Structure 1
Amino acid sequence: MGAGATVTLRTTTDRTTGVALLTLDRPERLNAIDLAMAEQLTEFWRELRYDDSVRAVVVTGAGERAFCTGLDRDAATAVPQPNSPYAIEDPLLRIGPKSNDCWKPLIAAVNGMACGGAFYLLGESEFLVADPSATFFDPHTGYGMVSAFESILMAQRMPYGEAARMALLGTAERMSARRAREVGLVSEVTEPGEAVAAAVRCAEIVARYPTEAVQGTVRACWAASEAARTHALAQAPHLISLGNLPADRQSELFAGRRPGGFRVR
């Protein structure tokens, strides 16, 4: 972590159960991921590989309004991009466990909005537990941006038509927790306010089992879709370079966004 960086993650670990609760802690920014948080997430997973006292992780967002609203807009404009359609500098590519060779199971407890760059974390979770307030959407196309990495990850978590609808309708529609459960993105919808507790209960069960068996199973499940995912991700930088509007035009669209105007399905 860079010197003087603001701590934007909270971690509490129950050494008795072996479960760590990881909280994205920028509620004033709807838990959007800035560069400091992205760096802290990478460090968390890399250090966790060597911490045998933690055997399962639950990730959630601080506050009631959002799990995570993706990459902070200020961070997005601060990252210089290579002058090549085949390369892209994306600060979110290493915010998940699998991207850091960490095979401890991750369960997401989703509260409020989960959109855009949040899918990098959700896409590397073993399964999702959702509060009834949870909604899922992908705003990229409405702001003149290609949804590449996000759509690839979501297309592996739900039927193609649902992933494509989410990506193409942008901010016009949000998928409800109920609908997410119906299409398989979410495995459980809890009573209001109970998502974290339900996810922790699942994590405690998993953490009781032999570590090698659990991590081997996580790796096997991931391997089932890894070949297709790797092939698709290789195309993402080129698609983004070709399809994104210039940064100034994106900024105009962001500046003109209006609250509301969407429907929840």
Structure 2
Amino acid sequence: MTVLVERDKASGVAVVTLDRERKHNAIDLATAAELAAVWREFRYEEDVRAVVVTGAGTAAFCTGIDRGVEVPQPGSPYSVDDPLIAIGPKANDLWKPVIAAVNGMACGGAFYVLGEAEFLIASETATFFDPHTTYGMVSAYEAVYMAQRMPFGEVARMSLMGTAERLSARRAYEIGLVSELTAPGELLPAALRAARTLAGFPTEGVQGTVRALWSAKRAALQQALDQAPALIALGNLPPEQQAELFTGRRAAPDAPRVR
């Protein structure tokens, strides 16, 4: 198991932890399937009324897809098999509130989960970045999700600057991506405090409010996501060229600027 789930029936809160600390909680196919299954199970569990999602350790919340994952792609630019497409709660029809507790790095495919959380709480050591362009890849789904949560100029800069820059937790808080900053050791307690409050309110009112909030932006979000497969298929370098760029950068990495 690479996804740990802890349920506290007394409070009505579940904690979902990406548990691949040695891989910076990168998501492989097994983890993607486990996440999707967990979100769908929560729909039927009356004792789970709010959820906190986080990553194991302090180095990373999630660093996106595991680079060792090979996903064969259709030959059409209008079709893309994306292994992360269903790792978020909303993609699995879960409308119970989800709070993301972001520790360390959050990048790339992490935005599939962060983009479908109700709000983010972050450690002061958290950073956010999107490596796609550095490795000859289109940031499509990630950029669309973040465009729903960040000012356009900020998400454009993060999406385009690749690994050259990282968005600090402080800056993320200033622009509204993060709703609360904590000391590293206070992250999970702060997220649990908020989740317990939500779990203590009448369930129907909370879930109805979650659904109403998402209905306000769902149509525009879905229209944008519908464009992603063709953009990825047309703009991505072949996998072997991506791998060369990735290997070269790991051999001689430039220190990213944190702003």
After superposition, the Cα gap between the structure-2 partners of 1:50 and 1:59, relative to the gap in structure 1 and judged at 3 Å, is same
- CA distance in structure 1 between the partners assigned to 2:2 and 2:129 by the alignment: 23
| One-letter amino acid of the counterpart of residue 215, structure 1 | Q
Q: Which residue of 2 aligns with 1:107?
A: 99
- Offset at residue 259 of structure 1 (A): 3.6
SS of 1:136's partner is: strand
> Which of 1, 4, 22 is the aligned partner of 2:16?
22
Q: Which runs of 5+ in 2 are unaligned?
A: none
Q: Which of 193, 197, 211 pairs up with 2:189? A: 197
Q: Does 1:249 align with 2:241?
A: yes
Distance in 1 (alpha carbons) for counterparts of 2:218 and 2:243: 34
Counterparts of 1:44 and 1:148, CA distance in 2: 25
Question: CA separation in 1, counterparts of 2:243 and 2:44?
Answer: 42
Q: What secondary structure, in the 3-state scheme, does the structure 1 residue paired with 2:185 have?
A: coil
| 1:18-55 Cα deviation digits (max 9, x unpaired) | 00011000000000001000000011011111011000
Tell me the equivalent position of 2:145. Answer: 153
Per-residue CA deviation, residues 142-184 of structure 1 (Å, 9 max, x unaligned), is 0000000000000000100000000000000000000000000
Greater CA drift, 233-242 or 250-259: 250-259
- The SS at the match of 1:194 is helix
1:53-132 maps to which residues of 2 (within 5 A)?
A: 53-75=47-69, 78-132=70-124
Query: Which runs of 5 or more structure 1 residues have no equivalent in the other structure?
Result: 1-6
Letter in 2 for 1:127: F
* TM-score using structure 1 length: 0.96
208, 217, 229: which one aligns with 2:209: 217
Q: CA deviation at 1:246?
A: 0.7
The aligned amino acid for 2:59 is R
Show CA shifts across 1:217-265 (max 9, x none): 0011111111110110110000001100011110100100134421100
1:234 paired to 2:226: yes
* SS of residue matched to 1:174: strand
Runs of 4 or more, structure 1, over 2 Å off, are none
Percent identity reads: 65
Instruction: Summarize deviations over 1:76-132 as a string: whole Å, max 9, x none.
Output: xx2111111111101111111110111011000000000000000000000000000
CA contact (8 A) 2:103 2:184 kept: no
Provide TM-score, normalisation by structure 2: 0.98
Structure 1 letter corresponding to 2:94 = C
Q: 2:198 aligns with which of 187, 192, 206?
A: 206
3-state SS, counterpart of residue 189 of structure 1: strand
| 3-state SS of 1:74 partner | coil
1:137 alignment partner AA: F
Output the amino acid matched with 2:139. Answer: S
Q: Secondary structure at the match of 2:174?
A: helix
Deviations 1:166-222 (A, max 9, x none): 000000000000000000000000122211110010000000011111111001111
**From 129, 153, 171, the counterpart of 2:163:** 171
RMSD of the TM alignment (CA)? Answer: 0.7
